[in-house]
Structure 1
């Protein structure tokens, strides 16, 4: 739970209500793809229980789960079916299908094959902290997060969201931390980094499982390369990779988080409480390390 974080701020004026949100999400529940349907998406119960609530509140933190299903037809399989159809037309009529007809044949072939296509599913966690006006999408791409956020804004009147913005860009801050070998208070620099030239060459240097407190890294930065990813740890409790787009990748909770917990202290509620408890402290510290927030309405 929560391994790739894209963080949004909720604009003032939205009055969240669990019951209202539950009713809104119930209008777009997830349903598996029909026989000739390529893609389907919607909300599922976060606890994984059939007919369960679509919004769960744990310690005042709201958890949602978005599910999508996609049917994929291998391109070579689709092309083979199109070629078969085109060959049949040529044999029966003595002419080759034109460009428009070929496009129609492709759609026909797709409809023929979709009922037999393999369907893959992907679930995405969404965390809302009503008190801090924060919404976090656990997505590995911005496009995935945008899809979910757009759906939420559409179904929840008054909800307006903006990506978290800071006074200092993550890229400028990461360059400073690496150049000066001086991470912000409460954070440490780990052993993974990517540096990239901003010019047309896009020359890239990557370090993995490698100490970064070396002259070579500083020389790359002095030569103009800028960090696009930097592995860090916060308070010896959470490790993550910070990106130039202010996303947190590879989030992992370290052993100190679980000290004192019994082996049976697990389950959905415990997982949510641990994750949101740690991240709700990390995020403000990261914002402070980046000079505070940049959006005027915040």
Structure 2
């Protein structure tokens, strides 16, 4: 739960009850792809129980789960079948199909193959903190995040969100921390980093499992390369990789988070409580380390 975070701020004018969110999501439940349907998407019960609630509350935190299913249709198989049909037409009529007819053949072949295609499912955790006005999506893909946010905005009247934005860009802050060897208060720099040149060369240098307090890293920054990713640990409790887009990736909760819990303390409620309990403190600290939020937050 929560391996990658894309973080949004909910505008202050929006308010809703959990029941209202449940009713809105119930209008767009997930259903598997039909025989000739390439993609299907919708909401599933976060607890994984059939016919369960689509919006769950744990300690004031709201959890949703988005599911998408796509049919995998290899381009090579599609092209081969289209070629076979075109060859058959040429053999029977003595002419090659034109551009319009070839497109129609492709569409027809796609429909023929879809019922036999393999399906691939992917789900995404969606967390709403109504008190802190946060919307957090567990994905590293901005495109997939945009798709889910659009569906939420359409489903929930008055909902307006914007990506978390800070006074200092993550790239500028990460460059300063590496160059001066001064991580922000409460954070430590770990052993993973990516530096990218801003010029036409687009040169990239990556460090993995490597100390970053070395002159070589500072020389790269002096030469104009800027950090696009930097591994950090917060308060000896959560490790993650900060990106230049202000995403948190590879989120891991460290052993100190689980001290005092028992081996059988797992389950949905415990997982949500632990994860959101840490992240609701981490996210403001990340924003503060980047000069605070813009827009008077």
Task: Return 5+ residue gaps in structure 2 as ranges.
Answer: none
Describe the superposition over 1:87-120 as per-residue Cα deviations: whole angstroms up to 9, x where unpaired: 1111111100001110110111100000000000
Structure 1: stretches of 5+ with no match in the other structure: none
How does 1:201-220 map onto structure 2 within 5 Å? Answer: 201-220=201-220
| Alignment correspondent of 2:96 | 96
Give, in whole Å, the separation in 2 of the partners of 1:295 and 1:246: 16
Segment of structure 1 superposing worse, 14-23 or 272-281: 14-23
CA distance in 1, matches of 2:117, 2:295: 46
Query: Following the alignment from structure 2 to structure 1, what is the Cα–Cα distance between the partners of residues 246 and 292?
Result: 13
The equivalent residue for 1:51 is: 51
Distance in 1 (CA, whole Å) between partners of 2:195 and 2:240 is 17
Query: What are the equivalent positions in structure 2 for 1:233-248 lying under 5 Å apart?
Result: 233-248=233-248
Task: Tell me the alpha carbon deviations over residues 261-296 of structure 1, each in whole angstroms, 9 at most, x when there is no partner.
Answer: 110000000000000000000001111100000125
SS at match of 1:285: helix
State the number of aligned residues: 297
CA distance in 1: counterparts of 2:246 and 2:152, whole angstroms: 21
**Which 4+ residue blocks in structure 1 deviate beyond 6 angstroms?**
none
User: Partners of 1:91 and 1:116 in 2: how far apart?
Assistant: 27
Q: Please, what TM-score do these two structures have when normalized by structure 2?
A: 0.99
User: Could you say which residue in structure 2 is the equivalent of 1:250?
Assistant: 250
- Secondary structure at the counterpart of residue 13 of structure 1: coil
Measured in 2, the distance between the counterparts of 1:241 and 1:295 equals 25
Match of 1:23 in 2: 23
1:73 equivalent in structure 2: 73
Q: Distance in 2 between matches of 1:213 and 1:190?
A: 10
2:138 matched residue in structure 1: 138
Provide the rounded CA distance (Å) in 2 between the counterparts of 1:23 and 1:11. 21
Alignment RMSD, CA only?
0.6
